[in-house]
Amino acid sequence: MTDTLIEVQNLEVTFEIGRRGLFSGAAKKLRAVDDVSFDIKHGETVGLVGESGSGKTTVGRAILRALEPSGGRVLYHGETGDLDLAHARKDEIAKVRGKLQMVFREGGLDLATLGGAALRAFRPRMSLVFQDPYSSLNPRMTVRDIIAEPLVAAGLMTDRKQIDARVREIAARCKLNLEHLRRFPHAFSGGQRQRICIARALVARPDFVVCDESVSALDVSIQAEIINLLKDLQEEMGVSFLFIAHDLSVVAQISHRVAVMYVGKFVEYAPTEALFFNPRHPYTHALLTAVPQADPDIEFRPERLEGEIPNPAAAPPGCRFHTRCRFARPKCSAEEPQWRQVAPEHYVACHFVDEMDFSRTIA
Amino acid sequence: MVCAMRPTHTGKAGDAMMLRVENLSVSFRTDEGMITPVEGVQFGLDAGRTLGIVGESGSGKSVSTKALMRLLPNSARLSANTRMTFVDKRGETIEIEKLRPGSRALRRLRGGEIGMIFQEPMASFSPVYTIGNQIMETIRLHRGLKGAKARELAVETLSKVGISNPSARIDQYPHELSGGMRQRCMIALALSAEPRLLIADEPTTALDVTIQAQVLDLMHDLQRELGMAMIFITHDLGVIAQIAQDVAVMYLGTIVEQGPVRDVLQTPAHPYTRDLIAAIPRLDRLEHRLHTVPGEIPSPSARPTGCSFRTRCSDAIDGLCATKTPPVTDLGGGRMVRCHRHYPERTAT
Ligand SMILES: Nc1ncnc2c1ncn2[C@@H]1O[C@H](COP(=O)(O)OP(=O)(O)OP(=O)(O)O)[C@@H](O)[C@H]1O
Ligand SMILES: Nc1ncnc2c1ncn2[C@@H]1O[C@H](COP(=O)(O)OP(=O)(O)O)[C@@H](O)[C@H]1O
Ligand code: SF4
Ligand code: SF4
Ligand SMILES: [Mg+2]
Ligand SMILES: [Mg+2]
């Protein structure tokens, strides 16, 4: 067995939008994820950052087959052998469900960040989204039943006593009170609800968990607790995380490697230190300058990105970042840059990566 | 109670502050009886300056600032000694706590003198009117301009907040805009009344860092241009460091520490401020275990006796912190802290 757990190869996800639009019949296609390749090791946390709408959630859900990819492969090297999740049959997926889990930002879908058109495209699908096996806390179930669900659903345990014991064990680990197990989720604070989600995701001793904006809505002190908890659980259980967040400092703290997404594509993937201290892609660099530091003596000079983030339904040709890149040249709008390795484990998609000099003053 | 807070580097000595809040306490009638989630808050603010307010969820940030605009629900009560004075555009002093609900003076205060922007932009906009209609209505109400004049001003305000092609955008509905654009339109809506004071409650928390940076930039510029004062509520100390000159740290309904941003962030005096700063993940320090504040924030209906932070404080003094409420200590340089650890220093001098 290699030390790679998940290998994503040329992943592609396409949504059909505006089916009942002006041009009836011809459904418009939105490629939310386009030709994404990367891997995740056993016991590793991979961070995924990028602006809202860039496709982070879609990557996470496609890997777990919570939605259907339209292309590419997702190789899962589990204990019971290798499986291409993107092409596996429903019954094969059902067997590994307990091993592949997801933790949402409590509160469900963040509709506020979807634009108008995207929101309209989304509404009819909402019920579907909430029904999928990874949806957030069901208000009518007790916390005990919520946490136990992955064990029951995957048929991993049938004995009630055994299930109770495992639920109590993981709940205690996630600092939930045993008293809490009999209650319903609405009675909990944001931090506690997040711990319930984590307990549920980890109860079946999974190999891989997608954490989508799991700490974004929390206060810093509670956020710090949850991050420490995830780190401890990873050490104990050897689980791998795909940690999606738009807060770069949080991602820096928890991840071993970090990927940056822009309009459906990865633009950079590197070990955390390299990505934050030696970014090679102009977009990564721009993102980093936009993070305000809690020290008034650290100069804050965010690089201005001109214009709006492009709509993935009308992605710019060539390099997708060329409409906002201060280094763009004619080649950038004509040709798509290759995804290539520039240092050990450091990948970048930019034509001019070798001549980048970010110290050049911003015009 | 001592020392209403006065930032050091204010204008001429003796001139009245634009906003002064003293002994602000707010109670709510609830099923479980009375709770007092805001108690004895005081601060002052001068024109052209920004006060940041930080604190955990439920610490009373929104309730205190809503009290300033008298936006609290009917179940809320201000204590009898609450004083909130505001010097308006005409130089007259308004006693906010005395304004009658529904009065003209209160309507003029809201929007016209004090503007507010919320975390969720949809809260300020009605979905059934265009962005332009809503901005023009504000302009009519607070600046007395109508028709083409109002429209012209609305377009100008939109372009000021960085909306490209404002003369077309003005006729769009709120849901037709992206989150970042809506946020900027909401700022335009608040600014179109030219308020003297802008209260921003987590205005950038839901935004991407890139758009947050644009919005912060914009608010900086507009403040410089209009001389407006701001109260900026956020749980992000990075944002505070960049936008505010003074900061107030709230815990369980009281301000536990206050002062110039640089001093408070670099040499925090209160144990809670220290914990909070240590808990922030930083970009320049990786691979290090995050500090946490021990225990959980108590509910306002079960506020601890003595110092409200003592159940989580690693510095608590036996026999003192659990029984006596710490007084406010003036540390000089515009700083104040509410902690027994600092109290003796004051009596010594
Ligand atoms: N209408 C109300 N009735 C009863 N209690 C209320 C009411 N509004 C607020 N509270 C209570 O007052 C306290 C302070 O609330 P507030 O909204 O000011 O917190 P906050 O500091 O703004 O928190 P956040 O960061 O979550 O916005 C909380 O305990 C809250 O539950
Ligand atoms: N079910 C769906 N139907 C149509 N479009 C969708 C759907 N889900 C996501 N999208 C679109 O795909 C793009 C990527 O979305 P998402 O993965 O949620 O981004 P992120 O998580 O990075 O904010 C966006 O343009 C979004 O509007
Ligand atoms: S390929 Fe061109 S446009 Fe794209 S990031 Fe590199 S320099 Fe900028
Ligand atoms: S008064 Fe006592 S308990 Fe409160 S913060 Fe100071 S040392 Fe800690
Ligand atoms: Mg998302
Ligand atoms: Mg609030």
Cβ of B271 below 6 Å from ligand 4: yes
pLDDT band at B122 (very low <50, low <70, confident <90, very high): low
**pLDDT for res B219:** 84
Q: How far is CA A215 from CA A106, A191, B237, in A?
A: 9, 8, 16
| Residue B127 CB neighbours (<10 A) | 8
- For residue A172 the two structure tokens come to 């205690």
Q: Min CA distance, B223 vs chain A (Å)?
A: 18
User: Which of B104-112's residues contact partners 24+ apart within 8 Å by CB, and which partners?
Assistant: B106/B70, B108/B142, B109/B69, B109/B70, B110/B69, B110/B70, B110/B71, B111/B138, B111/B141, B111/B142, B111/B190, B111/B193, B111/B195, B112/B141, B112/B142, B112/B193, B112/B195
Q: Min CA distance, B67 vs chain A (Å)?
A: 23
Kindly report the pTM of this predicted structure.
Answer: 0.85
Q: Which residue has the higher pLDDT, B305 or B302?
A: B305
**pLDDT for res B301:** 82
| Distance in Å, CA B56 to ligand 6 centroid | 9
pLDDT band at B132 (very low <50, low <70, confident <90, very high): very high
Q: Which residue has the higher pLDDT, A139 or A162?
A: A162
pLDDT band at B3 (very low <50, low <70, confident <90, very high): very low
Q: Do residues A161 and A167 make contact, with C-beta atoms less than 8 angstroms apart?
A: no
Greatest CA span in chain B, whole angstroms? 69
Q: How far is CA A203 from CA A155, A179, A207, A228, B112, in A?
A: 13, 18, 11, 18, 55
Chain A residues with beta carbon closer than 8 angstroms to that of B214: 302, 304
Q: How far is CA B115 from CA B69, B104, B232, in A?
A: 9, 16, 12
**pLDDT for res B95:** 96
Chain A residues with beta carbon closer than 8 angstroms to that of B284: 293, 298
Residue pLDDT, tens place only, A5-52: 999 999 999 988 765 545 555 567 889 999 999 999 999 999 999 988
| Distance in Å, CA B342 to ligand 3 centroid | 55
- Distance (Å, rounded) from C-alpha A301 to C-alpha A247? 18
Please indicate if any CB of chain A lies within 8 Å of the CB of B221.
Answer: no
Looking from the CA of residue A17, the nearest atom of ligand 2 is: 4
Q: Min CA distance, B80 vs chain A (Å)?
A: 32
pLDDT at B257 over 80: yes
Q: Do residues A277 and A253 make contact, with C-beta atoms less than 8 angstroms apart?
A: no
Residue pLDDT, tens place only, A173-201: 888 888 889 988 877 777 788 888 888 88
Residue pLDDT, tens place only, B145-178: 999 999 999 999 898 787 878 898 899 998 887 7
Best to test chain B binding among A220, A249, A289 (most B CBs inside 10 Å): A220
What are the extents of the domains in chain A? 4-18+28-137+206-355
**pLDDT for res A223:** 85
| Chain B residues 228-257 within an 8 A CB cutoff of chain A | 235-242
**pLDDT for res B349:** 37
- Distance (Å, rounded) from C-alpha B205 to C-alpha A213? 13
ipTM (interface predicted TM): 0.80
Chain A residues with beta carbon closer than 8 angstroms to that of B281: 223-224, 227, 247, 249-250, 252-253
Buried b (16+ CB within 10 A) or exposed e, A11-45: bbbbbebbeeeeeeeeeeebbbbbbbebbbebbbb
- Percent pLDDT > 90 in chain B is 51
**pLDDT for res A361:** 54
Q: Domain A4-18+28-137+206-355 falls in which CATH fold?
A: Rossmann fold (3.40.50)
- Distance (Å, rounded) from C-alpha B338 to C-alpha B173? 47
Residue pLDDT, tens place only, B176-222: 877 778 888 888 888 888 899 999 988 877 778 888 888 888 888 87
B182 CB contacts (<8 Å, ≥6 apart)? B121, B122, B125, B174
Q: Whose CA is nearest to atom 8 of ligand 4?
A: B316
Chain B residues with beta carbon closer than 8 angstroms to that of A250: 281
Q: Min CA distance, A290 vs chain B (Å)?
A: 6
| Distance in Å, CA A111 to ligand 2 centroid | 10
Residue pLDDT, tens place only, B14-43: 456 899 999 999 999 888 788 899 999 999
User: Which of A181-187's residues contact partners 24+ apart within 8 Å by CB, and which partners?
Assistant: A181/A142, A181/A143, A181/A144, A181/A147, A182/A142, A182/A143, A182/A144, A183/A142, A183/A143, A184/A139, A184/A140, A184/A141, A184/A142, A184/A143, A185/A137, A185/A138, A185/A139, A185/A141, A185/A143, A185/A146, A186/A139
Looking from the CA of residue B56, the nearest atom of ligand 1 is: 25
Taking each helix axis as running N to C, give the angle between helix A143-153 and helix A160-173, from 0 to 180 degrees, rounded to the nearest 10: 120
The dihedral built from the CA positions of residue A76, A81, A86 and A92, taken in this order, carries a sign that is: negative
- Label residue B25 exposed, middle or buried (CB < 10 Å: 0-12, 13-18, 19+): buried
**pLDDT for res A123:** 32
**pLDDT for res A18:** 60
